[in-house]
Amino acid sequence: MHNPCRICGGTVKGSIDLGRHPRGNAFPRPGETADEFFYRLVVGMCDVCTMVQLLEDIPQEVRYHDEYPYHASGSAIHRRHFEEIAQGFLDTELTGPDPFAVEIGSNDGVMLARIARAGVRHLGVEPSRQVAEMSRAKGVRVLPEFFDEGTAERIRAEHGPADVMFGANVIAHISHLASVLRGAALLLARTGVFVFEEPYLGSVVEKTAFDILYDEHSFVFSVRAIQAAAERFGLELVDARLMEIHGGSMRYTLAPAGARPVSPRVGELLEKEAAQGLGEHATLEEFARRARTVRDDLTALVRDLHAQGKRIVGYGAPAKITTVTNYCGIGPDLIPFVCDSTPSKQGRLVAGTHIPVRAPEAFSADHPDYALLFAWNHAEEIMAKEREFAERGGRWILYVPDVHIV
Ligand code: JHZ
Ligand code: SAH
Ligand code: ZN
């Protein structure tokens, strides 16, 4: 499979083929599974600009809609993370006479609510209705649209230039990334910054975290690819920092070209990426081989425990569960249910494999022998919350970076 690169027009060769998958966040209701949507999950790298991208593109309206089920404030650690980001902006960037902040994909308003409370002018751009309403209830101003260069132009005409533009786990989701970068160049004040954080290719490769590949992740960013993409649109990558959130995300800071000094961290990260082979097709091909090993090991372990009469339940229904259960062929015959604290996912099914999603009480009321931790990036928070399970002899199964029991 080959495609033209969405950023530079180079050639993208499909190196990772995980087969047919439904949408990661579809979570159909029981009875809604007859005509589930499937696509071919193939990921590759551009041979010119090294941007890693999905070969198939699912229309954004299909992915983000009134009932988009993910809530950004579903974890205490994430809530703190976003509040710290907001405070950081208030302390360092939003200090002028009448500053203005824009967030792309503001979701349930966890970040902007802090900015709103400080009385700072702001605008969330959020097309999914239910989460947008949750943010309005927190006093956040929302534009219910998909961000692109047209939206950027209209926002600038109405509100003036932005001192801060922010996006988390959304910029890599937008297949018209070129238009987003053109829009950022249009909307940013000369002294402004565009900060975004997204799952990092280096961490995904290092951890064999193949489950972060799904329809929403149109791209998996690297420092090198973002630096090159920014340059094409009059922006410059001035800083990049690796963070633990979501199992390894990079926070990129772009500014109008020449407006800010470039941190030495950028060069350091570029060197590390070269040493890790992130710009090479062979690295993705090797990753695909390791993903197959994880699949074989996980499937064998779950089948083996099941054959021994052990009860295994899933913990957490992140979008990632759709990739891992469909890729491994793990269904309700092996895992009768998975529990998740998000109300909009409860009573639904994991797309494709149809494992029912239940409230966390279903887990605590009747502890299984094993819990397969699909929300592995929240291990610390979840294991602390469910201490009793381990105290009573329950064991956690993890599959990142490899299959192991703790
Ligand atoms: P979590 C999200 O992916 C969504 P997901 C998005 N597609 C994206 O790009 C990535 O982030 C990066 C539940 N949970 O954060 C809540 C508990 O049940 O790993 C969530 O459903 N109990 C935009 O969906 C899920 O786990 C708990 O105590 O992979 C975690 O989803 C905690 C802490 C979480 O993101
Ligand atoms: N920023 C939050 C939410 C991420 S979920 C967090 O990091 O947890 C991704 C969000 O981006 C969804 O709410 C989705 O509706 C929104 N989104 C998707 N495409 C978008 C676009 N083109 N413009 C603005 N928001 C978009
Ligand atoms: Zn390219």
The whole-number average pLDDT for the span 294-323 is 98
Confidence of residue 59 (pLDDT cuts 50, 70, 90): very high
For residue 43, how far is its CA from the centre of ligand 3 (angstroms)?
13
How many angstroms separate the CA atoms of 126 and 71, rounded? Answer: 12
Q: Quote the pLDDT of residue 48.
A: 98
Q: Quote the pLDDT of residue 194.
A: 99
The residue nearest atom 15 of ligand 2, judged by CA position, is 128
Q: Quote the pLDDT of residue 98.
A: 98
Give the list of residues 6+ apart from residue 178 with CB closer than 8 angstroms, or none. Answer: 6, 7, 229, 232, 233
3-state secondary structure of 51: coil
Confidence of residue 265 (pLDDT cuts 50, 70, 90): very high
3-state secondary structure of 276: helix
- Render pLDDT for 99-110 as a digit per residue (tens, 0 to 9): 999 999 999 999
Is the per-residue pLDDT at 147 higher than 90?
A: yes
Measured from CB, residues less than 6 Å from any atom of ligand 2 are 60, 64, 68, 70, 72, 104-105, 107, 125-128, 131, 146-147, 168-170, 173-174
The first and second tokens of residue 246, run together, are: 């979501």
For residue 221, how far is its CA from the centre of ligand 3 (angstroms)?
12
pLDDT > 70: percent of the chain: 100
The whole-number average pLDDT for the span 287-307 is 98
Find the ligand nearest to 127 CA: 2
Phi-psi region of 309 (alpha: psi -120 to 50; beta: other; left: phi over 0): left
How many angstroms separate the CA atoms of 99 and 106, rounded? Answer: 18
Confidence of residue 1 (pLDDT cuts 50, 70, 90): confident
Is the per-residue pLDDT at 328 higher than 90?
A: yes
For residue 300, how far is its CA from the centre of ligand 1 (angstroms)?
26
The residue to mutate among 58, 73, 315, 342, having the most atoms of ligand 1 within 8 angstroms of its beta carbon, is 342
Query: Taking a C-beta distance cutoff of 8 angstroms, is the pair 209, 398 a contact?
Result: no
How many angstroms separate the CA atoms of 235 and 149, rounded? Answer: 14
Q: How many residues does the chain have?
A: 406
The first and second tokens of residue 137, run together, are: 């209830």
For residue 107, how far is its CA from the centre of ligand 2 (angstroms)?
6
- Render pLDDT for 13-23 as a digit per residue (tens, 0 to 9): 999 999 999 99
The whole-number average pLDDT for the span 197-219 is 98
- Render pLDDT for 83-100 as a digit per residue (tens, 0 to 9): 999 999 999 999 999 999
For residue 108, how far is its CA from the centre of ligand 2 (angstroms)?
10
Confidence of residue 38 (pLDDT cuts 50, 70, 90): very high
Q: Read off φ and ψ for residue 330, nearest 5 degrees.
A: -100, 120
The whole-number average pLDDT for the span 164-193 is 98
DSSP-derived secondary structure for 74-90: SSHHHHHHHHHHHHHHH
